[in-house]
A = this chain, B = another copy of it.
Amino acid sequence: MAKSSNSKGVVQRARKIQLLLMDVDGVLTRGQVILLSQADGTALEIKEFDAHDGAGLTVARLMGLRTGIITGRESAALARRAHEMDVEFLYQKRAEKIPAYEEIVRLSGVAEAAIAYVGDDLPDLPVMARVGLAVAVGDAAPEVKRAAHYITSRAGGDRALREVVEVILKSQGKWKEAVKRARA
């Protein structure tokens, strides 16, 4: 299975992508689950995203790539960040990812061969087995790396998504235009 960004297989898969889906913890973040204790005994969730990932996903949308998130956790922090990045599909609190994935496939009308998914751990495996371009972040679990068409050189939360956006837009000949628009 091709694992390098230069490989023909990955470029051919990336060229077809219209919809980019992703997990959150360990993919859009470094995988830290951060909780702030409250005086009443509850706890609030903090999430650390990456600014370069955000700029990449924002410009991807400008260039016509659709985006979506499927995660097992739920937080207002993610809801705000997804809104900032203009993410089209946001499914939180989904311990099992396949039902959410299938709903997105149906609602978007995009063929599975034109969908990419970026994951880092075991619950991501079922979706990765379905999509046209399965991506593992650089520090994914070994089982996830083995299931991927492409492994990013960057770790989750450290520009892995930016790298995926560049791989897709470059394969489609759109990256130079994206850089221009991001400058504007």
A contacts, CB < 8 Å to B = 25-26, 31-52, 54-55, 59, 75-77, 79-81, 96, 120-123, 125-126, 141, 143, 179, 182-184
Contact = CB atoms under 8 A, between A and B. Distances in A.
Copies of this chain per assembly: 4
Contacts of A38: 44, 76
Nearest to A122: B182
Given A34-B47, A35-B49, A54-B33, A80 B42 contact: yes
Nearest to A35: B77
A179 B37 contact: no
A48 B34 contact: yes
Given A182-B122, A184-B96, A50 B75 contact: no
21 contacts: A25-B51, A31-B51, A31-B52, A32-B51, A33-B49, A33-B51, A33-B81, A34-B49, A35-B46, A35-B49, A35-B81, A36-B45, A36-B46, A37-B76, A40-B76, A43-B75, A52-B121, A52-B141, A55-B122, A59-B122, A123-B183
